[in-house]
Amino acid sequence: MSGAMLKDALVTLKESGVRITPQRHAILEFLISSESHPTADEIYKALEKDFPNMSVATVYNNLRVFRNSGLVKELTYGDASSRFDFVTHDHYHIICDQCGSIVDFHHPGLEEVERLASHVTGFKVNSHRLEVYGVCPSCEEKVSKAN
């Protein structure tokens, strides 16, 4: 599946007039295969062996290009660093209060909330964002072992 997503993303970039560089290709591949919603620094560290001349600024600049093309969402959840999510479908996030890990989940019933909000207020709803917070199983296990 990730091969098809990469191909589609590359087509989207080309159609937007964006040149496909080896760094862009590698960053996209990393984002598509990642389930951790990485920071720019995490992407840089993962790719620095293959691209020793690439800087963190290059990663940020490419993430901005991807965001502007609609391929990537920038997630800002309270901590100082933005995390990046390759956009394949509408989904929501649950965030661990302890370690900051982010996990995707989908709930189709929330589309009805948009329709209801539009109906009740008269607004034309463009989007919505849902964040659920808690403690992930790994952090919960650490707390249990400490007690």
Range of the domain at 113: 89-147
Cα–Cα distance, 63 to 78 (Å, whole number): 20
Residue 128, pLDDT score: 81
Q: How many domains does the chain have?
A: 2
Cα–Cα distance, 21 to 89 (Å, whole number): 25
Residue carrying the six token digits 């920038």: 74
* pTM attached to this predicted model: 0.76
For residues 39 and 98, membership in a common domain is answered with no
Residue 31, pLDDT score: 94
Residue carrying the six token digits 């964002």: 129
For residues 9 and 54, membership in a common domain is answered with yes
pLDDT truncated to tens, each residue of the chain (147 aa)? 478 888 999 999 999 899 999 999 999 999 999 878 899 999 999 999 999 999 999 999 999 999 999 899 888 876 667 889 987 677 888 888 888 888 888 777 778 888 999 999 999 998 888 888 999 999 999 888 887
For 20-60, write each residue's pLDDT tens digit.
999 999 999 999 998 788 999 999 999 999 999 999 999 99
For residues 66 and 125, membership in a common domain is answered with no
Cα–Cα distance, 108 to 114 (Å, whole number): 11
CATH number at residue 125: 3.30.1490.190
Residue 88, pLDDT score: 67
CATH number at residue 65: 1.10.10.10
Residue 133 is classified by DSSP as E
For residues 64 and 99, membership in a common domain is answered with no
Residue 123 is classified by DSSP as -
Least Cα distance to 32 among 66, 3, 63, 60 occurs for 3
